[in-house]
Amino acid sequence: MNQPRVQPRRRTAVLPDEQDDPMDAAAALPGRTLHGTYRVGAELGRGAMGVVFEARHQSLGKRVAIKMLAPAYARDRGLRKRFFEEAETLARFDHPNVIQVLDYFEEDEHLFLVMSYCPGQPLARLLEQGPLPEARARTILSGVLQGLDYVHRQSVFHRDVKPSNIIVGDDDRVTLIDFGIAVRADGTRMTRHGARVGTTLYMSPEQITRPDRVDHRTDVYSAGVVLYEMLAGRPPFDAESDFDIERMHVLSPPPRLRTKVSEPLRRAMLRALAKEPDDRFGGCAEFLEALQRPAPRSGLPWKRMAGAGLLAAAGWLAWEQVQDRSARQGPDATQAAYQLTLVGTRTLGIYCDRLVRLTGKQMNHELAQRVHDREMELAYAIQIEGLTRDLRRSSEDFVALGKELATYPASTRSAAWSRAQAQADADSAPRMRHARARLEAAGDTTPRYADCGS
């Protein structure tokens, strides 16, 4: 491609405004042949930076999209020069999730960008039907993050990631479009230095407060906003005025999702939406890795799995004590110990099931939003270790009660048995009362242990 020679002009940098509407010239484009090659068809869309048309490469018969930029970009020397520089950079992109720039040229004092045609519909149109299922939201955002990671590795940041710039194909293949306000790592951009660009609903806090210090992590934030909207059916921050929306981006936490999503996905979304860039993912590859962590199996959350394990541990520990003594004690003692073991295991099982639920509740309150999975596993392992010690001590007590019961005369054994049952129920709770008190402080509102014995 031959880059046209840039003619110097004595004019300061300007941006398109309401008085610089490209539609006057755009209305005459359908049916024309541009650059001797591209037959212009119907309009596909428009924005502040220009108008996009469907077109066809006449000699190849290939369907393409052509964007005519707003006249201000051709009139200003600096912006015009940057357009050709940026177009050359974008033309080198080759990734299935990124729009491909095929050609660029100037004609009749207008700048044109020729791109591959992307069948499908904008994500914005898809979201008009409501929120998406979690699995589909993951699939779409994965494509977005793969495309962003690729362009970031080319030292380009998008800065306007939003549903209308994400094309979703029939197979949910994603194409990221409209790099018109992209910026290179060296700060070169198609807008004047320090200008605030982007769409208010999807802007990162630093785009609002420090536009001259924006880096690739602004795209991480915007991708987090898109994820929130896919799950909730609306952006996290919306208000009557742009000023209020900007204030919310800078100061307000995102509202809690009303739809149920897996905990790993929720944590990934909240991290991407952190106000400070340093608190977000270091890049889109890291965000993608967190996004692809498997969700818990439906109907079998980790707290219930742990509870089942604790119940099994209670039974095993108690029966281990019985077997250890069975060879040295009479059948009555063994049977009594076995009966009491069942009572104790049932009692501890009820308590441990509640304790496991409360442990998970506490961790949701205190840990889920600020620790990694390994740290959460470690914290939970400490809880399990303490419970196991208590179970072992309790099982030893049950066997001792059974041994004592075996020495009672048959005539009084029934009454002693009833008393032993009551004692087993009463003695199991104090072993873990300190843990319960701590867990109740996390907000437990379920019935007291005494109400759960039956």
Active site residues per annotation: 160
Q: Where are the beta strands (DSSP E) in 48-109?
A: 50-57, 62-69, 101-107
Instruction: Enter the tokens of residue 155.
Output: 């030292």
CA 175, CA 168: separation in Å to the nearest integer? 7
Question: Are 54 and 65 spatial neighbours (Cβ–Cβ below 8 Å)?
Answer: yes
CA 376, CA 370: separation in Å to the nearest integer? 10
Please give the C-alpha separations between residue 386 and each of 307, 309, 327, in angstroms, as whole numbers. Answer: 14, 14, 30
CA 349, CA 314: separation in Å to the nearest integer? 7
Long-range contact set of residues 51-55: C-beta below 8 Å, sequence gap at least 24? 51/22, 51/23, 51/26, 53/26, 53/29, 54/117, 55/114
**Best CA proximity match to 428, nearest among 323, 348, 362:** 348
**372: exposed, middle or buried (C-beta count within 10 Å: 0-12, 13-18, 19+)?**
exposed
Where residue 168 falls (left for φ over 0; alpha for ψ -120 to 50; beta otherwise) is: beta
CA 190, CA 184: separation in Å to the nearest integer? 10
Question: Are 50 and 67 spatial neighbours (Cβ–Cβ below 8 Å)?
Answer: yes
CA 248, CA 250: separation in Å to the nearest integer? 5
Give the DSSP letter of residue 212: G
Question: Are 160 and 181 spatial neighbours (Cβ–Cβ below 8 Å)?
Answer: yes
CA 121, CA 169: separation in Å to the nearest integer? 7
